[in-house]
Each structure stands twice: as C-alpha cells, then as structure tokens.
Structure 1
Amino acid sequence: MEAAVFSQDRSGEGGIRGRLCSPMALALLAMPKISGRIVGGGDAPRSRWPWQVSIQLNGHHHCGGSLISSQWVVSAAHCFDFSSLVSSYRVNLGEYQLSYPSPCRVSSLVSQIIIHPHYNGTRSAADIALMQLTDPVQYIDDIRPICWPGSSDSFPDNLTCWVTGWGATDSDVSLPPPKTLQEVQVQLIDTAACNALYNIDPDPKIGRDPVKPNMICAGDAKGHKDSCKGDSGGPLTCDSNGTWFLLGIVSWGDGCGQPNRPGVYIRTVPYGEWIWGYGPRNWVVHLRDEGCQTLLQQLHASLHHFPDLTVTIRRALISRSIVHPVVRPCTVWGQCKTQTGEDLKSATPASLSLHRA
C-alpha cells in the first residue's frame, strides 16, 4: 500500500534538504536557545522551541508540527482531511503569538502532504504525516529543525520532556489572546503502566490496552499536565545529553488533563526509515576546526546505519576556528572550540558530503 499524497505539484521530487539528525546525533546537535493540546503549562520564552510550527487551515491555526529540515515538516495524519485541498494549508514558522505575527515569521505554502500508508483513521494506526514546503526556509534563531532520534538513542521511563503548542488550556477553554506559545513539562510513562491507567474504568469507545507499541505516553497519573485540542501534530521534545530530539507527535487522549488518562503520542523512532524514504538526496554539512576531527570520525562510524550512503570528507583539518555549520540542520552552537577558544571566521570550512547511492 502506497502512502497517500495530496499534491499541488508533483513534478518536483525534492528530498529533505539538510538532515534528520539520526544516527548522526553525536556530530550534529539540535539545541534551543536555553542551555490534538497544552494543559497545566505556561507561556514559553520566545525562540525556545524554534522547530515548532503552526499549521494553518483556511487562515486559522489548525494543528502543530515540527520542522525537521529546511523544506519538510512532520505532523499527525489525523490533522489532514482528504476533502481539503493542499492549497488550503499553510505552515507558519517562527511563530510565537498567534494574535500578533512575529517579525521573524515565515508563512509557507505547501506543495504536498504525505500520509503514512498504514494510517486508517483509527487510534491504532500510524498517525504521522509529512508536509513539503514549496521553498526551503532559511534558518534563524526562531526557525531551526529538531533532531530525529535513532534506535540507539536512550529515553528512559520517567524522563522529563516538554510538550508545546497553541492548543486549548482545558477541554472547553481556548487559548486566550495574545495566544502565546505554551509549554509544559511531562514525564514519559511506560506503555504497560499507561495501559494500566487507561484500563481503570475504561471508556468503551477506546477499549482496553489502547496504547500500542508505536505509541508513547507522557503526563502524570493525576492528569494536571497534558496536551489538548489544537496541539495535535506538535512535538514531544526530549533532551538527551544536550541534544533535543523529537521523541513523539501529539496524537490522542481521553479528554485533556484527566486523572489516569495521560496524553498519547506517536513514537517517531519506528518511522525514521519512512521519513528517510522521502529524502534527503544530498546531505551537505560544513564544519570548521581541527578539534572536530573526533566528531567527523564519530559521524563516519555511525554511517553503518545507512549502507546506501557514500561519504566524502575533504579538508577535514582546519587550523583554528569553531564548529559552525554553514548549512545548519542541527547545529552545534559553540561546541568543539579550539583550545584557545578562537573563532577565525576567515578560515575555510571543512566539507562533509553525504550522497544517497
């Protein structure tokens, strides 16, 4: 079964430009500026979550999403209606307060929407979709992609993560003006433990053991912190050794912030190969500094995950400067400095090019 594709213009294949960050997390790190739902949270500081996007339908906020490269956004499949034209959707990047457009906001048209082939409109299916922007966006502090985790990345139960979005603050309470981006900390919950909670006075419409292996729960048993209507498709973001990963996608829940009903998210790890199938075709990262040779070696060693890639490393040793990818898909900000901490902007960058065979 092929993926469902809504498309205005299918003539341009175009892959994901940049990278997915997995399994290259050791070398390229997504870092925020700090070192369908949001309940129990508060206003997020501006620029803290630069991968968060607002998916607009007919000019109104509809769902959340996450920027994973300069031209691709990932969201939830249930956010998209087959009866709606692709031209009805826009993606707003660099958004902060929906009532007052940010000066850094970029509002992008969408060229195609790709629904995962296993999605069938139920809670048990692959609730994940890709949106291709008509043009690549330029990365700035308010617009940057998030890393996609690999199977080797570890996220233990009870890890504290973050959920963000412009959704309702309670089941029947819309986010009030100026509609500032909300954030809330939630804890990861083991699948068995989450099902045990949902099996307490189970909803007949949901049934018993509704949380499947391709899902992950986050929140708490008391139900004070959760995502809510309007947050669907947005990110469940987790920090692992200073790198921010998109661990889950807001999918469903039984109400908002209810006791024994944690939020349920689609796990992203199982869908890495599907994402990779749509790109990138060319993956180019520019690095600086001889101190980054170790990072290059780690990156090269990790490529066994992708046997269809060929690697070219040229001019890998530069005398002095700082890692600063010219193409910033998952940037190492200030990591890998020289011993003297110098930054010679005139230095020629080393170039690491990855190409699909």
Structure 2
Amino acid sequence: MKCYASSLLVIAVMWIQVDAIFFSSLFPQRTRPGLCLNCQCGRSGARFKRLVGGTEVPNGFYPWLASVYVNNDTYSGALISNMHVITAASATRGVPLSDIKVGLGTGNRCTSPNSGLNTSVSAVTNAPGGEDLAVLTLSTRVNFNNRIRPVCLPPFANSAYQNQVASMVSWGLNSTNATDSPPCVPRQLLLPILPAQACYASYSGTPYTSSNANCVGVQGTPSVVCSSDAGGLVQYDNGNYYQLIGILPATNECDGSTDPAVYVRTAPLLPWLLTTTRDSCYCTAY
C-alpha cells in the first residue's frame, strides 16, 4: 500500500503540470496539493542567454527566486507553491522560526528592499535521509503576479539531466571573500550537468555523498560555487519553462580546487515534497 501511494505521489507532479481534471479525480483531497487557478509555473519574466563571478540577473527574470533571511545571513530559495519555499536545510537547522524570514519579488535588495512580499515562516520541514534540503511553510499565502510566481518541479522521480546545461542562480557572495556583503542583485551561471560517474571521479576530496546528489561544472577548472551559495537554485530550461532540478548545499567551497559543484536533486524527493506541501496549491506548466 505504501508503494502504491508513493507511486501516485510521483505521478502527481505530472498531473499538476498537465491535466487538472485527472489530478483532482484520482488523488484524494486530503493527501494531495491542489491546483492554483490561472497561473503557470517556471515562466521567466524575460529571456537572455548567458554565484561568484556569475552574470547579474535582470529584475524579475526568475520570479520564483526567494531571499531567505536567517538572523543576519541571507540564503537563496525557490517558491514552488503558494505556501512553500525550498532552500538548504543547513541554512535554517536549529534556528527558531521567529528568526527566519522570506522575501519574494525583490529584484534589487539595495535600491528597493521592501518592494516585494516579506513574510515569516510557520514551519520548517527537513528532507529525509539528512539531505541538505528543507521546505519552508510561509505564514502568508502568496498571490501570484508577474513578479512572484513558482518554478516547476521535475515531472518524474527518475528525471535525469546529464549532459544538459543547468542555470544556477543565487543571492550568494560576489567575491571569494566571505566577509563581503551579499550582492544587490542575484547572479546566475550556466554550467553543464555531469554524469554521476564523472561527478565523483572529478573530486579531489570527499564529495557530498548521497544517492540524491549530482554535480555541475567543467572538469579540470576551478570551482566558482561557494558555501555562501547554499540554497541556490539549479534549474533546467526545456525551452518552454524552468524546472527546479536541485538545490545547492552548504558543502561547496570556492577555494581554487577543481572539484565540481554538488547539488541535491529534487526529482527523487518528489513523493516527500508533495506530501509535505499537500496543504498548498501548485501552478501548471501549460
């Protein structure tokens, strides 16, 4: 029975993104997320082809990018429903809920820090197995608009993106100096997704060991993803919409080594994600 329920949860992402009627009729109301009306996930505010040293992201380009404020530190996160943001578990682990805030819809934190939605968090749910990924439940239900809308999740639990190009986005530092202030605008970097075997073979030290982990980067070149990029988004653009394929953990170091950047994959965690966010609604991809 558990296996059957888990399979339904995995398929639910495809229902959410394709067919509202099928989704509603086949999945009991008490155990599934709902469908938000008149919204699409993963639709960028603009398109351009091109986070230490990354390209600055135009205002509103990724309307799902969240700022996660933990005491005096700032991390990144992704809005996936009208009530939930995904980030790195290491960012909030052991922190009281009163010390965690989330900002959405802010394109420039220096010139217009209060231009978007700022909300508190009512719950933090860490992923099973010690993965560096957590779901933040927002105290306020989000009303979507052109500046705030969710990203899509992968359609299947076994979705693989090896040899594709990932777009990594982060509010991380704009230099390798850990004492620098976070940048005013987010930055992005495009890097190839490595096959798992190449990922671990490229490591000089001990990698983030998990069956849910994978790597991005160019083998033999210095890493440009830092621990300050924790919670950063790893996305795949299929030409129509963006899928959130992973979250950057806090284990990446931009110390001059040639180790590729590791991310925690969201696809294998789909059953857990959908169960955890069942009190919310999702947008469709079409």
Both structures adopt the same fold (TM-score exceeding 0.5): yes
**Residues in 2 aligned to 1:74 and 1:210: alpha-carbon distance in whole angstroms:** 19
Match of 1:57 in 2: 70
Match of 1:247 in 2: 245
Match of 1:196 among 198, 201, 205: 201
Q: Is the 8 A contact 1:39 1:169 kept in 2?
A: yes
1:229/1:156 Cα in 2 relative to 1: closer, same or farther (>3 Å)?
closer
Q: Is the 8 A contact 2:219 2:258 kept in 1?
A: yes
Match of 1:101 among 112, 116, 122: 112
Percent identity of equivalent pairs: 24
1:225/1:186 Cα in 2 relative to 1: closer, same or farther (>3 Å)?
farther
Q: Is the 8 A contact 1:160 1:185 kept in 2?
A: yes
Q: Is the 8 A contact 1:50 1:141 kept in 2?
A: yes
Match of 1:277 in 2: 275
Per-residue Cα deviation, 1:275-298 (whole angstroms, up to 9, x for no partner): 111233575xxxxxxxxxxxxxxx
Structure 2 counterpart of 1:181, one-letter code: P
Match of 2:234 in 1: 236
Q: Is the 8 A contact 1:191 1:212 kept in 2?
A: no
**Residues in 1 aligned to 2:148 and 2:268: alpha-carbon distance in whole angstroms:** 26
Match of 2:283 in 1: 329
Match of 1:25 in 2: 17
1:178/1:246 Cα in 2 relative to 1: closer, same or farther (>3 Å)?
closer
> In the TM superposition, what are the counterparts of 1:93-242 in structure 2 within 5 Å?
93-102=104-113, 104-119=115-130, 126-151=131-156, 154-172=159-177, 179-198=184-203, 202-203=204-205, 206=206, 210-223=208-221, 226-242=224-240
Give, in angstroms, the shift of residue 104 of structure 1: 3.5
Match of 2:82 in 1: 70
**Residues in 2 aligned to 1:260 and 1:33: alpha-carbon distance in whole angstroms:** 34
1:133/1:281 Cα in 2 relative to 1: closer, same or farther (>3 Å)?
closer
Match of 2:265 in 1: 267
Match of 2:30 in 1: none
**Residues in 1 aligned to 2:278 and 2:182: alpha-carbon distance in whole angstroms:** 39
**Residues in 1 aligned to 2:96 and 2:143: alpha-carbon distance in whole angstroms:** 26
Per-residue Cα deviation, 1:235-257 (whole angstroms, up to 9, x for no partner): 10111241210000011445217
**Higher relative helix content:** 2
Give, in angstroms, the shift of residue 213 of structure 1: 2.1
Match of 2:57 in 1: 44
Structure 2 counterpart of 1:244, one-letter code: Y
Structure 2, unaligned stretches of length 5 or more?
1-11, 20-39
More deviation in 233-242 or 216-225?
216-225
Structure 1 counterpart of 2:88, one-letter code: A
Match of 1:309 in 2: none
Give, in angstroms, the shift of residue 141 of structure 1: 1.5
Per-residue Cα deviation, 1:75-118 (whole angstroms, up to 9, x for no partner): 11111231x21001100111222223356311101111111242
**Residues in 1 aligned to 2:218 and 2:55: alpha-carbon distance in whole angstroms:** 17
Q: Is the 8 A contact 1:191 1:213 kept in 2?
A: no
Structure 1 counterpart of 2:58, one-letter code: P
1:159/1:211 Cα in 2 relative to 1: closer, same or farther (>3 Å)?
farther
**Residues in 2 aligned to 1:106 and 1:115: alpha-carbon distance in whole angstroms:** 24
**Residues in 1 aligned to 2:88 and 2:183: alpha-carbon distance in whole angstroms:** 25
Structure 2 counterpart of 1:329, one-letter code: C
Give, in angstroms, the shift of residue 219 of structure 1: 1.7
Give, in angstroms, the shift of residue 272 of structure 1: 0.8
State the structure with bigger RCO (CA 8 A, min sep 6), 1 or 2: 2
- Give the TM-score taking structure 2 as reference length: 0.78
Secondary structure of 1:226's counterpart equals coil
**Residues in 2 aligned to 1:244 and 1:257: alpha-carbon distance in whole angstroms:** 30
1:196/1:177 Cα in 2 relative to 1: closer, same or farther (>3 Å)?
closer
Structure 1 counterpart of 2:102, one-letter code: V
Give, in angstroms, the shift of residue 46 of structure 1: 0.7
**Residues in 2 aligned to 1:281 and 1:85: alpha-carbon distance in whole angstroms:** 22
Structure 1, unaligned stretches of length 5 or more?
1-19, 120-125, 284-327, 333-357
Q: CA RMSD in A?
A: 2.6
